Structure 1
Amino acid sequence: MSAKKTTRVNDILGLINGLYPPALAEDWDNVGLQVGDGRATVNRVLVCLDPGAAALQQAEQMGAQMVIAHHPLIFRPLKRLSPVDETGQVLFRAVQQGIAVVSAHTNLDRAADGLNDWLAERLGLQQATPLEQAGGDLLKLVVYVPRGHEEKVLDSLFGAGAGQVGDYDRCSFRVAGTGSFRPGAGTDPFIGQPGTTETVEEVRLETILPKHLLRKAVSKMIQAHPYEEVAYDLIPLNNGRHDIGLGRIGWLPQPVSVAEFSAQIKERLGLSALRLAGPTDRPLKKIAVCGGSGVSLFGEARRQGADCLVTGDVKYHDAQRARSEGMLLVDAGHFATEHLMVAGLAKKLQVAADDRQLPVEFIEMNTEVDPFELI
């Protein structure tokens, strides 16, 4: 009789990374495992928007060993770990209860069949494509490394998110050759002496990365490289996937008035009110959407001929811009434009786990509410 199969935290991370690769995340983001042991056993997972105290409480009550949230629990480097604020309390509680906490944030936003596709579908958009496509956003990075140091340099690049090609990661190419250089006066070369031309057996390493990871990847690479001055090339690429990127833009089945579309948004996102800025007297047909805080895509939406951008977290000057530039801006709220990820992600992960015969149950958190109240 074969041993009963178990599911571990690392198995769930593998499912997430396969569907929503960490390399898609913005360089300022913090996705993946935030708290927990990748070797720990999991049979129930809670999926939520925010990894707060309420999520940990529900996870405990339902016997879950893992929480997958959209928003990161640890967003910025911690200067101290103390249960005096909610983040500290959640961290302490998660460790004490043995509950792993994972974030799928901007990688879920940018991925195909991720949050923004779900939002576009919920609002009835057809032929939706990424508003800010990542397809022409790739770079080839070439770096020259002395023989024997290539694995350390590659590990640094892969750790920063480079080397992702579709469903494959840690992708690279290498070829051996001979490098030459002459260190200048006042240098401290890893190999050779100042003023003397040196020839060295080197390896040319190549990998790819999205532009938004460039600064992080180059910084990690330079830290891992033994040379005082690192020689590397960056080559723009025009190939890549065109179904990933921030936001979505698509078409309504037929033109509708602003009043009609507003009513549809409220009904489909469970809202009692919206904030609008810009012209309200024109029919709407081509619609851009971005879950959460997507006002930065206003210019791109306008450039692509959108009649309207639906997002959240609209500020005063954003509204003024919408009025002056003549494109409707709809603030449906951060919560409402993102909370649909709970059901979407739970269903995707359950299907993926079932396909791999992993015994685990994904449960949607059903008690989250918008922190804002309209009175």
Structure 2
Amino acid sequence: MPLTVADVVAVLEEHYPPRTAQDWDAVGLVAGDPAAAVTSVVLAVDPTEEVVAEALDHGADLLVTHHPLYLRGTSSVAASDPKGRVVHRLVTGGCALYAAHTNADAAADGVSQALADLLGLTGTAPVEPLDAELDTLTTFVPRDHTAAVLDALAAAGAGRLGDYERAAFHSPGTGTFRPLPGAHPAVGQVGAVAEVAEDRLEMVLPRERRAAVLTALRQAHPYEEPAHSLVAQAPVPAATGTGRIGRLPEAMTLRAFAELVARVLPATAQGIRVGGDLDAEVRTVAVCGGSGDSLLGRVRSLGADVYLTADLRHHPASEHLAGGRPFLVDATHWASEWPWLPRAAEVLRAAALARGARLDLHVSTLVTDPWAVHLPQTPSGAASPHEGASS
């Protein structure tokens, strides 16, 4: 049985949870019927007209892109502009569109981690980790209902710890209570003290699942008024977050590192730009796929020797380099984010195989940077900035 758009979206959102996206971002299903069957998926960085044409030529039922089509919303999808034409071509071609943007950036196996792995970095950690906001739920359940309540809480999102689910602790004890007039007790009689063999059940849950877990508790628990307490845990750094920092297996010069970057990243017209002492030794490396000059201060504070990112602006970059390390290596936006696409494709491939479904996956290599060619400048035939100036 083929997967549906909703099935593929569920796999993507398990690995790249929308809750980890930035508040300003627009991630998720952009166009398409969640119930539609999917046998072919194309993955790309940008939902440009050229990429959409490639997806339709490939017979794709779903196009997964890193960048959203409408980041700031719209009031029109008329085909009189490029974005509107994209929507029309997708709809008429029967191809859905899904975007995983800053949630894919932040993921433990997301955009920046793919970039770090490509360089062989070890001991990686987020440059700006997202704090994990967790609660601990404690409740008391008649012993013969413990498993059912535990399962209901797990289904609502409790008990997930890293690569483990349904994680819980329960211990035996005795519960006691006296039902008052108007109560309809599942155990005991109105006005009489009851003693019940109960289990104390404790589970951790993400804070954003608090309402769903409490609803599941009330629905699954046999008591009219299930006793419980919910305690907010202190925030702890998570494996998710913006950028990555790690170490090269061996120290190398900045020049050698830049040459490594040029070898492992897909080629673009701009190529790789480098700022700093080319003969200096580097080993601690920070990376951020996409535009990353907002992290310049942070990577310096973490002791990075060199920082690889994209779209570095003139003034932030020059002012930063005046202060020394980390040196800067600047790739293009597309090249720094493309390495995530094969990784996301493998996530979908594994999910399809696990369900016995057929899923054709194609990673687009269309370069969607706006620059088409790089023309090196030579001194011959070029006027000097000082030529013609008065002496």
Q: TM-score by structure 2 length?
A: 0.69
In 2, are the aligned partners of 1:278 and 1:319 still within 8 Å (CA)?
A: no
Counterpart for residue 303 of structure 1: 301
2:286 to 285, 288, 291: 288
Q: Is it true that 1:245 corresponds to 2:244 in the alignment?
A: no
How far does the alpha carbon of each residue in 1:96-133 deviate from its partner, in whole angstroms, 9 at most, with x for none? 22210000111111111111111001112111111111
Long gaps (5+) in structure 2: 136-156, 166-204, 210-230, 376-391
Question: Aligned to 2:263, what secondary structure does the other structure show?
Answer: helix
State the alpha-carbon separation in 1 of the partners of residues 286 and 45 from structure 2.
22
In 2, are the aligned partners of 1:20 and 1:107 still within 8 Å (CA)?
A: yes
State the alpha-carbon separation in 2 of the partners of residues 126 and 338 from structure 1.
19
Q: Is it true that 1:105 corresponds to 2:101 in the alignment?
A: yes
Task: Give the counterpart letter for 2:336 in structure 1.
Answer: T
State the alpha-carbon separation in 2 of the partners of residues 167 and 41 from structure 1.
29
1:31-180 to 2 correspondences below 5 Å = 31-134=27-130, 136=131, 138=133
Superposition deviation, residue 209 in structure 1: 4.7
In 2, are the aligned partners of 1:49 and 1:341 still within 8 Å (CA)?
A: no
Q: May I ask how many residue pairs the two structures share in their alignment?
A: 292
State the alpha-carbon separation in 1 of the partners of residues 62 and 256 from structure 2.
41
Counterpart for residue 223 of structure 1: none
In 2, are the aligned partners of 1:278 and 1:322 still within 8 Å (CA)?
A: no
Long gaps (5+) in structure 1: 141-161, 170-205, 211-233
Counterpart for residue 29 of structure 1: 25
Question: Aligned to 2:37, what secondary structure does the other structure show?
Answer: coil
Superposition deviation, residue 139 in structure 1: 7.3
RMSD: 2.8
Counterpart for residue 368 of structure 1: 367
Question: Aligned to 1:84, what secondary structure does the other structure show?
Answer: coil
Q: Is it true that 1:326 corresponds to 2:324 in the alignment?
A: yes
Q: Cα distance 1:237–1:356, how it changes in 2: closer, same or farther (>3 A)?
A: farther
Counterpart for residue 179 of structure 2: none
Q: Cα distance 1:167–1:12, how it changes in 2: closer, same or farther (>3 A)?
A: farther
Superposition deviation, residue 93 in structure 1: 1.3
State the alpha-carbon separation in 2 of the partners of residues 27 and 101 from structure 1.
21
Tell me the percent identity. 34
In 1, are the aligned partners of 2:133 and 2:206 still within 8 Å (CA)?
A: no
Q: TM-score by structure 1 length?
A: 0.71
In 2, are the aligned partners of 1:131 and 1:288 still within 8 Å (CA)?
A: yes
State the alpha-carbon separation in 2 of the partners of residues 357 and 167 from structure 1.
22
Superposition deviation, residue 342 in structure 1: 2.0
Q: Cα distance 1:111–1:207, how it changes in 2: closer, same or farther (>3 A)?
A: closer
